[in-house]
Structure formats: C-alpha cells, structure tokens
Amino acid sequence: MIINKSILHVLDTNLGQPILSSELMKTTDETFDYLTKHIEKALNSPKNKEFILKRGNENCELLLNYNDDEFIAITQNLSKNIFKVISKSSNCKPCNLIFGTFMDNDILKMCMLKMDYKNSYIHSCHDNKNNLIQYRTTMPNISQKSDESFVYEVDTNTLLLNEKRYNIEEENTTIFSNYIFDLPFNLSPEDTINTIEKVSNKIVAEFYNNDIEKQIDIKKEIVEAYNENKELNINKIAENFNEDAQGIYTQTLKNKGIKNKVTLDSNLSKIINKKQKIRTEEGIEILIPVEYLDDKGKILIEKKSNGATDITLKNIINFKIS
C-alpha cells in the first residue's frame, strides 16, 4: 500500500465548530505505520457495506468529482457537513477525521477514518510528586480499529462503508448512509451472516423446540459453503425445515434484503468459524469448535425417547478449568 497524502480535521462538538486543517499531515515512520494499519482494517472489515455512488447528493458529488488537487477542500467540505450531523446527536462522541488517498494494487482510493475520542491516562512527575493526568482527546491505538470508516474507489465510484447507529434528532439512525450520502438500505457481509443465523435459530426454536442437532446441521452447512465455494444457497438451508417453516424462513430473509444466493466474503472467516454455543435451560454453556461439530469421536449428541438430549464429550486427555 502506498499512502499519497493525508489530513486530519477535528470535530469536537464541545467547541461549537470544527477545526479544519488547511495543510496535509507530515508523516513519520511511526505515523505512516499507524495510518497503514488502520486503513487496512477499514478496507478489509467484514462490517463494510458496498454501494455505488449516484449523482444528485452534495457529498456524493464531492467524491464523484474527485480531483487530487482539490483533496484538502473536498475533505474540509465533507468534515463541515459531518460536523453538522453529529452536532444534532445526543450520543455521538467528539472525534477526529483522518482522510487519506492511497494506491491499492495500482487503484486510487480515498479513505476516511472516524476516530472517536478516548479517555486515557499518563503520569506526571514534578517536584518529587507523581500524579495521573487524564487525556480526553486520544485516538484508538494501532492495535484497535477506527470507530467508523469509508473507502472510496475513484475509478468505479464504489464506496465501502462501515458505520454505527446514533440517536440523531430523536431517531436511531446513521450519519453516513442516511444523512451524508443518502444511500439505500444495505447489509454488510457480517450483518448478512448474523441475520441468517438468527432467523435460522428462531425457526428451530419455533418449529423444532430448539433442537440442538438441527441448529448444528445448519451451522455445518454454512461452514461447508464457506470452505467449498464461498457461496451460500438459502433454499438449500431451507431444506432442513418442513414445508411450513421453509416458507416463513425464506420470506423472512427476503424481507430483510437477503437474496437466495449469498456470496461469502473471505473476511468472514472468524465470524463463520466461531464456536457453536449450546446453552441449556439450567444455564450450562458448551462451546464447540466448528471442526468438531461432526466428529462423533469428540462429541456425541443423542436425543432420548422422553424428549431430553444427552451431550457427551469423548476422548478428553487434557482439560483446563478457568
């Protein structure tokens, strides 16, 4: 990755107006590494929603008409408009906005990193007295993530957007898709998988009395689809259910904007391969790694004639209590 230029604007609502920089940031090796790490996380986040920007919106036009010579002015205008929105929010924190342009596989992209203020402490030594001093304007460190971000691909007008919801003018909504860019509803890859799993579990609860084996069968099907061809067929998952449940399942997902065939982004590995949790009514919880879901030499799930279920952990050599 080659970072061409970057700039930082301060959006502290306590000050009443944004503090906009008129000069590019000077980067050291340390700040370059900091920016690179955060841009890579923004670029590859499974929370990213993808949009193609259209004409007719003031802020979309700023990106659609992108001119590298106007980089500072573009970021200033975007920051002014973002500040107007967060000033209307009751729970949006003061923040810094870092904008940058970079080359990603010879493709020019522009990014924005929204860095909410964090509370942190440093020590102070004076006249043999050591004290703690609180700083309220520090940003996420290099191992953390930006709070919100977008990455814009200049040639294709494609926007990858990772955003949160806030209380703005008494409505639970978003800054960027709703106010800044006026974008249609869209789900991120992570939202899509979470929605599929939640709806599946709801169907299993309503139609199959929370049948553990049924939940595990669906989980295995999602994992297998990801490992084999990165495509999930909703109708194929629906075949795990009876006719009545199938109709409700597919229609519920359709109403939530999920199509029959879902492409599974490679960045979803941690989410798809997360451990399967089983929780009993007594509050006992078991976490099963996905690779053991179908291994009867490790775990055996048996349904008894009285409707109860036995779960047996097998061939355990070492274990740790935490």
d(CA 142, CA 35): 8
Residue 320 lies in a domain: no
Residue 101 lies in a domain: yes
For the chain, what is the domain count?
Answer: 2
Q: What range defines the domain where residue 98 resides?
A: 2-180
pLDDT of residue 311: 86
Closest alpha carbon to 236 in 260, 214, 253? 260
pLDDT of residue 111: 97
Same-domain status, 68 and 133: yes
pLDDT of residue 148: 96
pLDDT of residue 294: 79
Same-domain status, 111 and 6: yes
- On the question of pLDDT at 251 being above 90, the answer is yes
- Mean pLDDT score, 66-75: 96
Same-domain status, 230 and 104: no
Same-domain status, 82 and 195: no
Summarised one tens digit per residue, pLDDT across range 124-138 is 787 778 877 777 767
d(CA 192, CA 196): 6
Q: Whats the size of the chain, residue-wise?
A: 322
Summarised one tens digit per residue, pLDDT across range 241-250 is 999 999 999 9
Same-domain status, 229 and 168: no
Summarised one tens digit per residue, pLDDT across range 76-114 is 999 999 999 999 999 999 999 999 999 999 999 999 999
For the chain, what is the mean pLDDT? 90
Same-domain status, 309 and 252: yes
For 267-279, b/e burial (b = at least 16 CB within 10 A) is ebeebbeeebebe
pLDDT of residue 82: 97
Residue 193 lies in a domain: yes
- Mean pLDDT score, 55-60: 95
- Mean pLDDT score, 279-285: 83
Summarised one tens digit per residue, pLDDT across range 169-187 is 989 999 999 999 999 888 8
DSSP 283: S
d(CA 268, CA 276): 15
3-state helix, strand, coil in the chain (%, to 5): 35, 30, 35
DSSP codes of every residue in 92-103: PPPEEEEEEEEE
Q: Please, which residues have CB within 8 angstroms of residue 139's CB and are 6 or more apart in sequence?
A: 96, 115, 117, 118
d(CA 59, CA 275): 41
- On the question of pLDDT at 211 being above 70, the answer is yes
pLDDT of residue 108: 95
Same-domain status, 213 and 129: no
DSSP 241: S
- On the question of pLDDT at 200 being above 70, the answer is yes
d(CA 72, CA 127): 45
Same-domain status, 54 and 99: yes
Whether 262 and 191 have beta carbons less than 8 Å apart is answered as no
Q: Can you read off the two tokens belonging to residue 20?
A: 């906009």
Number of helices and strands in the chain (H, E): 8, 16
Residue 112 lies in a domain: yes
The percent of residues above 70 in pLDDT, for the chain, comes to 99
- On the question of pLDDT at 209 being above 70, the answer is yes
- On the question of pLDDT at 122 being above 80, the answer is no
Same-domain status, 157 and 232: no
pLDDT of residue 137: 66
Same-domain status, 106 and 153: yes
CA angle 31, 166, 87 (to 5 degrees): 75
Same-domain status, 36 and 70: yes
Residue 322 lies in a domain: no
